Each structure stands twice: as C-alpha cells, then as structure tokens.
Amino acid sequence: MDLAFTEQERTFREEARRFFVTEIPESIRNKLRDGEHLGKDEIVTSQRILNARGWATPNWPVEWGGQAWSPVQVYLYQDEMQQAYVPPPIGFNVTMVGPVIAQFGNDEQKRRFLPRAANADDFWCQGFSEPGSGSDLASLRTRAERKGNSYIVNGQKIWTTLAQYADWIFCLVRTDPAAKKQEGISFLLIDMKTRGITVRPIVTIDGGREVNEVFFDDVEVPAENLVGQENKGWDYAKFLLGNERTGIARVGASKARVARIKQLAAMEGIGNDTRFREKLAAIEVELKALEMTQLRVVSDERKREKGRQNPASSILKLKGSVIQQQLTELMMDVVGPYVMPYQAPDQTQNEPFIGPDYAAGAAPAYFNYRKVSIYGGSNEIQRNIIAKAILGL
C-alpha cells in the first residue's frame, strides 16, 4: 500500500482548496463552521456553484456530469470540501436518487431528472423509514396500488430529512403485499406538490426542524415514475445505501473542527488546561488513526471490484461518528457556561443569544450529533459487520 500522493494528486488538492475558499461565499461557510442551520437558498446556491464547475456530481456516470475521478481524487475532494466548511451537494440528489436513476432508470427519466437534480433545480428527500419500519426497513407498509396508468399511494414516512424544502421524494412502497417482504417493494418518484401529501415537522432535541413526518392519502403517482421494475425496489435501495456510506467518516470535517476548537480554546484561555489538552490529544490520535484507515480503504478501492462494498467502511462509519460526537463534547468544554442559554436553530433573531456568537451553535450541535451513531447504519450494526466480515467471528 502506497499512502504517498502523486504530483498530479497534490496539484488536484491545491486546485480544490483554492476553489472552495474563493468561490463558495464566506458567509455560507462561516454559518456551517459555527454550527448554524443553512436555509434552502444557501444550500442551493452552493450546489449550483459546484455544478457550474462540474463538481456537484463527480460520482455520476460521465455522460450525466460525472468526473471519472480516481478513489484518491474523490477522497481529496471530500477532505478539502469539509475542511473549508463547504456545504456538500445535496445528498438526496447526488449520492442517493441520482445514482439510482442513472443506474436503473429509463432514458426519459434520466433526461428529465438528472440535470435538474445536479443543479438543485429539484430538491429531493428520502421516503424510506416508517413508524415501526426503521431498522427493519423491509417491513414497510406504505402501499402503492396500480390503477391504470397510475399508482395510488397510501401510508406514512417518518424522519424525512428536509422534506419541508423538497420538491420531490423518492419512496419505497409496497406493490405486492402477498410477496416475501423484500420482494414486494418498488421504487417510486413522487412530486411533493401532489394532492394528498401532508408534511408535518418533528422538532428535534436541538430545537430545530430538520426532520418530518410525511403522510400519503390516496396520492396519485404516474406509473412512468416507477424506477426500474416493479417489486425490485429492494435491490435499488441496497444500491443506494451503499452509496450513502461514501465519505461517512467525515475526517475532513473533524480535522476542521479540531482546528476551530484549538483557536477558540486559545481565545478562552482553556487551551493550557492539562485535562483539556489530554482530551484533545487523545481525539487527535484517534482522528489520525481514522485518517490512515480511510487512506487504506481508498488504496484498496483501486483493486476492488466496482460496486462491491468494502466491509472496512463500517470501521470508518463507527469511529468517525464517535469522534464527531467527542468533538462536540469538547466544544462544550470550550464554551463553558454559555452552552446553557443556547439559541435553538429556528429561533428568531429577535431573541439575541447571550454570549459570544461562536458559542450559539455549541449546544445545538452537541444534541444534533447524537444522531450520527444511528444514521447510515447504526453503530451496533457496524460492529456486527466488522465481527463477521473482517474478524471472521
């Protein structure tokens, strides 16, 4: 394994670094740095800048805007993007539904949806989890009944991230209730403006509105919005979830957060505290080990069969989420008593935060990051994968 970057790779890294800090508005990057929630307009603005450069959808086929980058270039792109506090392209558009349509959709669906998803002309959300069908997703009960040239959809989705912004939702629906549960599921694309759809917010522990419930009451969906074959949606969902784990360790984001913590700790005078320094050093050691592990995975991808998931990604997800949570805890130490009167993400500016601006996002980030050990496959599931696929237990 060779962990040294080539001259071409170092040049690419410098190009990416310059682009991110000069082209993406500093106001957007600073909000992300300080843990503030971005509005839809800011998310869309950032993605359109990336798309104009051809960097919004590097993982897509070249004919639809992909870059055919090497695994190392993808790693460098993500690392520099995260360290510059650049909002990543909308994951639902770029990492999830886009690759599914590109792989399994028909030509008309590709022409209709892919360019708009790349440019954030359509904002997508994900309709997978349901009440009682989260970890056991194959037990979902939202039903789509074929009637002529349409499907009639009834049911409920939950934990639907950013559904309040979404123009479209890609849904797993049950089209054959008599089949074995994994074999009776289809993948539908549904316009969120369709009559019968209701979006209801779920206020999260940090006080924000990031996730929602979505209800479908006799929602009529054109049959042409079925992706691939009826009752094959489970296969497409597995393909999608494999893509979701790309970059899930967020090593670049954690490196940026370490640098920010050091800067603020020096300002607050806590940087010389022995116990604080010990905790910070321990996290930095773990983060460096995680970065080396990620580079080994990247190196292995050069030889790996295309589309085959590397079980080592479970290590990246597990350790990456733990480190992200530890860093939010360390930021709470830096901010000190100002974590108590925190300002919720959706609170109006008419209620000013008591304390320095950089402290306002510390407590909401701490609460919000409790989720990272669950999404993308819970840490308990990752431990099982590691035990079976890597350790052979």
d(CA 277, CA 279): 5
Task: Report whether 114 contacts 47 (CB < 8 A).
Answer: no
The residues facing 155 across adjacent strands are: 216
Element (H, E) at 231: none
Task: Report whether 19 contacts 9 (CB < 8 A).
Answer: no
The residues facing 213 across adjacent strands are: 200
- End-to-end Cα separation, the chain, in angstroms: 26
- H helices of the chain, in order, are 7-23, 26-33, 40-53, 71-83, 91, 98-104, 107-118, 233-244, 251-268, 274-301, 313-335, 362-368, 379-385
Which residue, chain included where needed, has tokens 């609460």? 367
Q: Which class for 314: exposed (0-12), middle (13-18), buried (19 or more C-beta within 10 A)?
A: buried
| Pairing label, strands 226-227, 150-157 | unpaired
Helix, strand, coil percent content, the chain, rounded in steps of 5: 50, 15, 35
The DSSP call for residue 138 is G
The residues facing 150 across adjacent strands are: 147, 222
Catalytic residues: 244
**CA quadruple 23, 346, 203, 374: dihedral sign:** positive
d(CA 326, CA 342): 19
The residues facing 380 across adjacent strands are: none
138 φ, ψ to 5°?
Answer: -70, -10
Which residue, chain included where needed, has tokens 């950013």? 162
